[in-house]
Amino acid sequence: MSDKARPANENVDSMMNDIIEALEIIKQKLPNGELKLIQERIENIDSTQEDMKEDLRAIKRQLMDPEDGIIVRVNKNTEFRKKKEQEDKDYAKMLDEHKELVSFKATATKVLWIIFTAIAGIIVALFYGQYGGK
């Protein structure tokens, strides 16, 4: 039995030596400290990605806030600008109408002066014609 135990032990020892040699080869081929560096960089990327997600949430909140968001302010500004443009058109129309009324008033005043002068002339002519001709 001892003869059979020796080849099995030698076989196991040989396998263990092969495994140890393989592990040594793997250790030699593994980069020293580079795995830790790679792991740290991946963790750094992960934390940076979380920061970016939080920043995006903050930006989204700032843009989309229904009370005071940028989009709401832009819409209010656009609405105000359109209303102001319409008011400017109405103001320009009223200004043109005012100029036309002032022009009409000046013309009407001139016509009335002409009529008044003509009536006054007729009255004076009648007055002199009745009293001056005798």
pLDDT tens figures, 91-102: 999 999 999 999
Q: 58-94 pLDDT, tens per residue?
A: 888 888 887 888 888 888 899 999 999 999 999 999 9
Q: What is the pTM of this model?
A: 0.42
Distance (Å) of CA 30 to CA 16, 21, 43, 116, 130? 21, 14, 20, 117, 138
Q: Over the chain, what is the mean pLDDT?
A: 85
Contact 64, 71 (CB under 8 A): yes
Nearest-5° Cα angle at 35, 30 to 36: 140
69 class by beta-carbon count within 10 Å (0-12 exposed, 13-18 middle, 19+ buried): middle
